[in-house]
Amino acid sequence: MSIEKQEINFEDPNEFFDRLVQVAVFKEASDIHILPGKESVTVQFRLYGELSTLYTFPIELFQKINNTVKIRALMDISEQNHVQDGKIFMQIDVEGNTVWVNLRVSTLPTLNGENIVIRVLTTSSKFLDIDSLGFSSQAQKLLKSASQISEWLVLVCGGTGSGKTTTLYAMLNEHDPSEKAIFTLENPVEYVVSWYVQSQIHIVWGDAEDANSYTFSEGLIWILRQDPDIIMIGEMRRKEETETCLEAANTGHVVMGTIHSNSAIGVIARIRQFDIPSYLIASSLKYIICQKMVKVLCPHCKNKMTMKVADLPEKYARHINAEEIEVYSHNPKWCDSCNDWFSDRSVLTEMIKVDDDIYRLILDNAGEDEIRRTLMKKWWIPLYLDALKKAIDWKMDIHEALKLDL
């Protein structure tokens, strides 16, 4: 089913919203954006990490869908001048299968009305299994080995919609819950899994007092008193929680989490920005995973082409011992089997395992260039080489691969 921008009208906002969620789950969208403008409203999906516009409808219909979403998310429809958060649990039918969907709703007042963003989450096993996430076979092996460590810290970084939290949950699912005490600490909890102990951060803003509120740092300390084997946190953003994670990983616990960085090597610099001692980083950090969601070429209409290695950027060409390579690109005419030339999603990934050499470099405060040179002498495959490999294996459009800023 191809996604094309459509100008629409609707009478029943509940029916329209249900259909919107159904299409989002079918297309594996990570987010739904509903953006009010001066004259019309735009509906966008985040697919494979990129925003795609689906629908526009008259601004006169906006208040209907806005009220519908806020009522179902248990939000205050009379409040339109402050940010609000809510959640919706619903059951939908996707190609004859019943799927439970967890929707996290956020509203933001703008000049034209409240901007609505909905995170789409499903606990379907399809999305929580390492083998089904689109990683290369080598990356799958590394992820599974990272899942089976008995202590240390594992961090995942990547852009919005790259599937960081999904990867963490897939790694958690490699463990037997009858043998491991698994705790998650998130804001919000993105996947509800009955056999994990899941806690959601509750922060009260302003001067309000709430005895039930607590921060990431407080939650981590309390979890450590609960005899955990594995702790997964949503995101490391501040020094206090990062330091607590590193200390926990250094004392016999497995800690997994996400952190903001555009590259695996950049994660080390990011942690250093929190003014954390190098010895603690080196002794605690074991795996860093950086990922980016990309589109997979349609197998029915892909184009095979020959490219001269000399025409490739130097960072690619120096790794190829040939004058020409066979790669693939998309067919601009598409076909009946694909969605505007692509048919699925895949993940570009680069992973760092902190071995003795990397340990010493971190301990000695080595810079990113020195760490990169050491990694390139090993098994390491950076994101851009993973993209090239996927273009050779027909999984990715060569032009898409080359234009990525990696």
The per-residue DSSP string of 128-146 comes to S-GGGTT--HHHHHHHHHH
pTM: 0.82
Residues of the chain with CATH 3.30.450.90: 6-122
- Given a cut of 90, whether residue 295 has pLDDT beyond it is no
Lowest mean pLDDT: which of 20-24, 52-56, 191-195? 191-195
Is 6-122 assigned to CATH 3.30.450.90?
yes
**Helix, strand, coil percent values for the chain (each to nearest 5):** 30, 30, 35
Reported for 75-78, long-range contacts at CB under 8 A and 24+ positions apart, including other chains, are 75/105, 75/107
Better-scored residue on pLDDT, 202 or 275 = 275
Asked if 279 contacts 365 with a C-beta cutoff of 8 angstroms, the reply is no
Mean pLDDT of the chain: 89
Number of H helices, E strands in the chain: 13, 16
Residue type, 401: A
Q: Which residues of 248-279 are buried (b: 16+ CB within 10 A; e: fewer)?
A: bbbeebbbbbbbebbbbbbbbebbeebebebe
Better-scored residue on pLDDT, 278 or 122 = 278
Asked if 380 contacts 350 with a C-beta cutoff of 8 angstroms, the reply is yes
User: With bands split at pLDDT 50, 70 and 90, how would you rate the model's confidence at 354?
Assistant: very high
Per-residue model confidence (pLDDT) at position 83: 92
Given the structure tokens 């074991």, which residue do they identify?
A: 286
- How much of the chain exceeds pLDDT 90, in percent? 61
Better-scored residue on pLDDT, 139 or 204 = 139
Q: What are phi and psi of 403, to 5 degrees?
A: -90, -5
Architecture of domain 126-291+351-380: 3-Layer(aba) Sandwich (3.40)
User: With bands split at pLDDT 50, 70 and 90, how would you rate the model's confidence at 385?
Assistant: very high
Give the residue among 360, 365, 374 at the shortest CA–CA distance from 276.
365
- The helix-helix angle for 13-26 and 62-72 (nearest 10°) equals 70
Residues of the chain with CATH 3.40.50.300: 126-291+351-380
Distance CA 52, CA 50 (A): 6
Asked if 213 contacts 204 with a C-beta cutoff of 8 angstroms, the reply is yes
Distance CA 172, CA 229 (A): 11
Q: Which regions of 167-245 does DSSP assign to beta strands (E)?
A: 182-186, 197-200, 230-233
Per-residue model confidence (pLDDT) at position 312: 93
Given the structure tokens 């240390």, which residue do they identify?
A: 152
Give the residue among 128, 139, 96 at the shortest CA–CA distance from 192.
128
